[in-house]
Structure 1
Amino acid sequence: MKERVRAVLVTADDTMLVIRRTKPDIPEYWVLPGGGVEPSDESREAALHREIHEEIAGKADIVRHLHTMQTDGERQLFYLARIVTWSFEDRTGPEFSGEGRGEYALEEIPLTVDGLDRIDLKPEEIAHVLRGAIGAGSLRAEPAK
């Protein structure tokens, strides 16, 4: 089964980093940074660190596992993380150079229900989970000691 890892990246200003995807003939949508777990990755967390580095030239402290979503043939694991540094201009992921992949734009949105309501975050299940966690006050992204 293919596995993907994604991160809810919380900044020092309590915003969240998301990637706005723009593709021809498809309404724009947003995703959380992350990607596929490779056989060479030592762990899921190592894969997430690699993906954060590739996609946003970032370094993050993973706080905890937040949610797992499974569909036919694919499992996505979502983690809560505190983003330390990032530079979208220095990204290196292979997806950025692929023909027909559309545009990727890094954005900061408020980590609030209103902030989430202003974007079309995919998959919808994680948007729902985040709304509930925000309402419950359970998205404190303090790094593990």
Structure 2
Amino acid sequence: MVKRTARAILLTADDTELIVIKRTKPGQPPYWITPGGGVESSDATVLDALHREVFEELGAKITDVVPAFVDTVPHLPDPGKTTTPGLKVQHFFVCRLASMDPALRHGPEVTDPCGRYEIVRLPFTPQGLAAVNLVPATLLAYLTRNIAGMRALLARDLG
């Protein structure tokens, strides 16, 4: 079984900050993730899932969406479910924040949270990325090496 996700490498309009979610679960150290989640059967495309997830988790609209990174990892089913282990293909898109109103957040992260979901703005620098436990580690490594590249993907002259 392959589970697909869509995740946003979400930059502010001036490309100086990365918007992430600080996850704090009971009994575990906090970690930071990019907004996004699973592609559902109601999503016509992975991009539709990305827009839906960003709006659910942040109350945000995004623009300038460009594919940036794909990560494939083993996928373990949730405890108590009968599905067998498989793969998770995570599609990461670099994009810019068009608007955000956290009051519009909805979905399970808001209505039935397991711990805390905090919206955080990190400096989009190697030091800013290294200051938190950004997961997955493959994304952290990729971003740290490619900050200028992420900004270049959003350059106005790319067409």
1:12 Cα deviation after fit: 1.8
Structure 1: unaligned runs, 5 residues or longer:
none
1:61 Cα deviation after fit: 1.1
- Indicate conservation of the 8 Å contact 2:32/2:132, yes or no: yes
Distance across 2 between alignment mates of 1:53 and 1:18? 13
Q: What code does the residue aligned with 1:111 have? A: F
- Indicate conservation of the 8 Å contact 2:109/2:117, yes or no: no
TM (norm. structure 1) is 0.91
Distance across 2 between alignment mates of 1:95 and 1:24? 14
Q: What code does the residue aligned with 2:95 have? A: A
Distance across 1 between alignment mates of 2:73 and 2:11? 26
Q: Which has the larger radius of gyration?
A: 2
Residue aligned with 1:50, SS: helix
Q: Identify which of 98, 109, 122 aligns with 2:122.
A: 109
Determine whether 1:10 maps to 2:11. yes
Determine whether 1:95 maps to 2:109. yes
Structure 2: unaligned runs, 5 residues or longer:
75-86
Distance across 2 between alignment mates of 1:142 and 1:35? 26
5 Å matches for 1:131-142?
A: 131-134=144-147, 137-140=148-151, 141-142=154-155
TM (norm. structure 2) is 0.84
Residue aligned with 1:38, SS: coil
Question: Aligned pairs, how many?
Answer: 142
- Indicate conservation of the 8 Å contact 2:63/2:95, yes or no: yes
Q: Over the residues paired in the alignment, what is the CA RMSD in angstroms?
A: 1.5
Partner residue, 2:78 = none
